[in-house]
Chains A and B, each alone.
Chain A
Amino acid sequence: MELSTALFAPSRGTPRQSVPHVPLCGRRVRLRALAPSDYDFCYQLAVDERTAPHWRYRGAPPRPEDFVRELWQSVLVQFIVERRDGSERLGLVTAYDANTRDGHCHIAAIFRPDTRMWPLEGVFLFVNYLFAEYDFRKLYGEVIEYNLPAFASTVGRWLDSEGVRREHEYHSGRYWDVHLLALWRDRFELDRERMLRRITKDLPA
């Protein structure tokens, strides 16, 4: 037996420790590592007039030759959200500005404008992944005022409002507030099992 094999092979009779599975696949969508072949798709999200104002570049994406570097700037981990069968890309979820000392991180999500609400399944899987794989206490999301109504039911229920930057961003002829929302690990754990069971349950079409 080679030394390396001997070192890493489990001892005979020693039960293997089961490693909990962190699901990346839901009822309709799955998360997949971002690959170079996805860069064009991401660039289209950055320049599409329907999605560009909502994403991190706020309608002013970097030059194409700088785009890939910017796409990974301050990023901890990011996934493409695609249909479960891999037939179609739906969007991108990103964790960035991670602070491992203080236990928090920012997250962002952007989806094709023609997708409906199923990408939310991908966001839930992503949040679950982050809390499972990193020792974060909470995750932050910044939401511009005009996007807030889509999340209104989550504020106070799942998300805490931790601050508002008044008239922070200029878009479409006026200034808009930017809300800082936080999802605490403890709060997420309350609903985690119930939501995960539902999202990952297979049903006939």
Chain B
Amino acid sequence: MSLPLLEFDAFWEVLLAELELPVVAVVPDTLLRDDLAFDSVLTFELLLVVEDLAGVMLPEQLLGQLVTVGDVYNVYETRVTQG
């Protein structure tokens, strides 16, 4: 069964809620590390949630390529639409 594709804003709302982080306004260019203070632990938790939302495991080589919020959404969107 394919999972529903969330729009960008809804996707981040769900992510922040799952991570129990305060709601902050983000745009696709928002930087995970510099703007949102994501360290390796928080990024690890983020990816687990993205995997749950997309319903698939992400390739490990993707991890180093996730710099912005938009990068994360693109990975999610691609996985869901390819579902």
A116 touches B52 (CB 8 A): no
Contact pick for B57, options A28, A116, A151, A198, CB 8 Å: A28
Min Cβ gap A126→B in Å is 14
B57 touches A204 (CB 8 A): yes
Which residues of A in the span 105-136 have a Cβ within 8 Å of any Cβ on B?
116-118, 120-121
B51 touches A203 (CB 8 A): yes
Q: Known interface pairs A117-B44, A203-B55, A204-B55. Does A152 touch B60 (Cβ–Cβ under 8 Å)?
A: no
B37 touches A152 (CB 8 A): yes
Please report the C-alpha to C-alpha distance between residue A121 and residue B37 in the assembled complex, in whole angstroms: 20
Contacts of B4 in A (CB 8 A): none
Contact with B along A169-205 (1 / 0, CB 8 A): 0000000000000000000000000010011010111
Contact with A along B40-80 (1 / 0, CB 8 A): 11111101110110011101100110000000000000000
Check: A19 CB closer than 8 A to any chain B CB: no
Main secondary structure of the interface of B (DSSP, over half): helix
Contact pick for B56, options A121, A195, A203, CB 8 Å: A203
Please report the C-alpha to C-alpha distance between residue A152 and residue B52 in the assembled complex, in whole angstroms: 24
A205 touches B56 (CB 8 A): yes
Please report the C-alpha to C-alpha distance between residue A153 and residue B64 in the assembled complex, in whole angstroms: 19
Min Cβ gap B35→A in Å is 14
- Nearest residue (CB) in A for B63 is A116
Check: A138 CB closer than 8 A to any chain B CB: no
- Nearest residue (CB) in B for A153 is B42
Contacts of A28 in B (CB 8 A): 57
A152 touches B39 (CB 8 A): yes
A117 touches B57 (CB 8 A): no
Contacts of B48 in A (CB 8 A): 27, 198-199
- Nearest residue (CB) in B for A190 is B20
B37 touches A153 (CB 8 A): yes
B49 touches A198 (CB 8 A): yes
Q: List 30 A-B contacts (CB under 8 A).
A: A27-B51, A116-B60, A116-B63, A117-B40, A117-B41, A117-B43, A117-B47, A118-B44, A120-B40, A120-B41, A120-B44, A149-B39, A150-B40, A151-B40, A152-B39, A153-B37, A153-B38, A153-B39, A153-B42, A154-B41, A195-B45, A201-B52, A203-B51, A203-B52, A203-B55, A203-B57, A204-B55, A204-B56, A204-B57, A205-B56
A residues apposed to B, CB below 8 Å: 27-28, 116-118, 120-121, 149-154, 195, 198-199, 201, 203-205
